[in-house]
Amino acid sequence: MKALEKIIHSLDPKFEKGGKWEKMYPLYETLSTFLFTPKHVTKKGAHIRDGVDLKRTMFMVVLALIPCLLFGIYNTGHWHYEIQSYVNPEFEGYRDYLTGFGDKVIYGLLKVLPLVIVSYAAGLAVEFIFGFIKGHGLHEGFLVSGMLIPLTMPADVPLWMVAIATVFAVVIGKEVFGGTGMNILNVALTARAFLYFAYPTAMSGDKVWKSGTDDMLVQAGNVMPDGASGATALGDLASFVGDSPVVAGQVMSKTDDLVGAFERAYDPIHAFIGMIPGSVGETSTIAAMLGGAILIFTGVASWRIIVSFFAGGLLFGLLMNGVSANAYMDVPGYYHLIIGGFAFGAIFMATDPVTAAQTGWGKVWYGLLGGALTVMIRVLNPAYPEGIMLAILFMNVMAPLIDHYVVQMNIKRRQKRFKTA
């Protein structure tokens, strides 16, 4: 390593001010500080510093996302072959979860890796452009956003859309505010919301969740074959409040036992493991919880937010069970925690420390309200089958207000000490 260190730092003068490649300094700084923690020593204040830095912190989040990524790759492949099996009988055996494991992984890799690569390439390009303008190397925030963005997308979303969404999110969502640490909205969710509203057909409906649904429909003559369904569990649930409820492709009548049919179609254990269609990385509650365990143990994510977010969602789900005004409200409250992107959002998105509430009690309220709002949007506003994205973005905006009240409490408590004394 000494040799590598010598080679790299022999280049130092060329990249410093006045050097030949001065303009490329941000790129050089990023690479050299990645390989070697710089030799900066303390100048002011404390002479010794904690070992932790933002690189290690952000790396841990990327690491925690790996279970979701791996499961997402497999799940993408699985649902591709599942939907294909309705026109290609040779894949009928693939409807079983473990049959064709290798094929599914290969298909998933071919679908998901390009999303990841495009997201990182587009985002890092923008980050570096801003780095060149401001003269600093890469700040690590995007390393996490770059992984989150593909995991929140349906697998079939066109790559150019991912690219422009990422560019939009990094520029408008983050850099205009001053870069990492200064943004108001979660960057990955900004990217998703941009696509959701700009290209709704690529982000919602019942043709995007299983990769290759469009090809299958062409082969089937533009009619969904019997027994096939392209909807998510949340899409089915949203149909319960309409006139023609659907469960897993089966058109039902309002008088049927919708809740029972739903529970048979989406077994809670399957949903918990993640064997349901959805965006790439969001489906597996257990994979998200594995990542969550890493983040809570290492203290990178706030356990207050995660726990209260789940609590808020569950409580509102139970409240809906109590109100019981339609079939959707009768679906057991805990279902909300294991379908859609609830767990993924609660663990990886809501906990983004920059956009979440920053005070201890603020985090609790932020999580509770965010969880409740997610379920509220899902159940009470069927225009949006999934509520997690909007709920977290809304709470991002509300977080400073929540913190404001917590800070006021602190100020009042502090002043009270002098009145009683």
* Residues with Cβ within 8 Å of residue 63, at least 6 apart in sequence: 294
Out of 211, 359, 374, 396, the residue judged to bind other proteins by CB under 8 A = 359
Q: How far is the CB of 406 from other proteins (least distance, A)?
A: 8
Q: Counting contacts by CB under 8 A, is residue 417 touching other proteins?
A: yes
**Binders in 92-121 for other proteins, by CB under 8 A:** none
Q: How far is the CB of 396 from other proteins (least distance, A)?
A: 14
Q: Counting contacts by CB under 8 A, is residue 410 touching other proteins?
A: yes
**Binders in 316-355 for other proteins, by CB under 8 A:** 353-354
The conformation of residue 247, written as its DSSP 8-state character, comes to E
Residue 391 to residue 257: CA distance in whole angstroms: 30
Q: What is the 3-state secondary structure (H, E, C) of 273-305?
A: HCCCCCCCCCCCHHHHHHHHHHHHHHCCCCHHH
Amino acid at 274: G
Q: How far is the CB of 153 from other proteins (least distance, A)?
A: 25
Tokens of 289: 């919880």
User: In terms of CB distance, is 104 or 139 closer to other proteins?
Assistant: 139
Out of 135, 178, 227, 260, the residue judged to bind other proteins by CB under 8 A = 178
Q: How far is the CB of 139 from other proteins (least distance, A)?
A: 6
Q: How far is the CB of 160 from other proteins (least distance, A)?
A: 30
Q: How far is the CB of 216 from other proteins (least distance, A)?
A: 44
* Residues with Cβ within 8 Å of residue 184, at least 6 apart in sequence: 177, 355, 396, 397
User: In terms of CB distance, is 125 or 411 closer to other proteins?
Assistant: 411
Q: Counting contacts by CB under 8 A, is residue 179 touching other proteins?
A: yes
* Residues in contact with other proteins, shown as a per-residue x/- string from 3 to 22 under the rule CB under 8 A: -xx---x-------------
Out of 20, 23, 56, 264, the residue judged to bind other proteins by CB under 8 A = 56
**Binders in 143-162 for other proteins, by CB under 8 A:** none
Q: Counting contacts by CB under 8 A, is residue 229 touching other proteins?
A: no
User: In terms of CB distance, is 80 or 363 closer to other proteins?
Assistant: 363
Tokens of 327: 């079939």
Scanning 74-82, 133-141, 264-272, 284-292 for contacts with other proteins by CB under 8 A, the matching segment is 133-141
**Binders in 33-52 for other proteins, by CB under 8 A:** 33-52
Q: How far is the CB of 27 from other proteins (least distance, A)?
A: 15
CA 127 to chain centre: 20
Distances in Å between the Cα of 239 and the Cα atoms of 75, 127, 192, 392 are: 24, 41, 23, 24
Q: Dmax of the chain from CA atoms?
A: 82
Residue 265 backbone zone (phi > 0: left; psi -120 to 50: alpha; other: beta) = alpha
- Beta strands in 168-305, from DSSP E residues, in sequence order: 246-247, 250-251
For other proteins (CB under 8 A), the number of binding residues is: 62
**Binders in 258-287 for other proteins, by CB under 8 A:** none
Core vs surface per residue 178-202: b (16+ CB within 10 A) or e: ebbeebebbbbbbbbbbbbeeeeeb
Residue 76 to residue 60: CA distance in whole angstroms: 25
Q: What is the 3-state secondary structure (H, E, C) of 388-420?
A: HHHHHHHHHHHHHHHHHHHHHHHHHHHHHHHHH
**Binders in 182-221 for other proteins, by CB under 8 A:** 182
Residues of this chain that interact with other proteins (CB under 8 A) are 1, 4-5, 9, 33-57, 59-60, 137, 139-141, 178-182, 297-300, 302, 353-354, 356, 358-360, 363, 403, 407, 410-411, 413-415, 417-418, 421
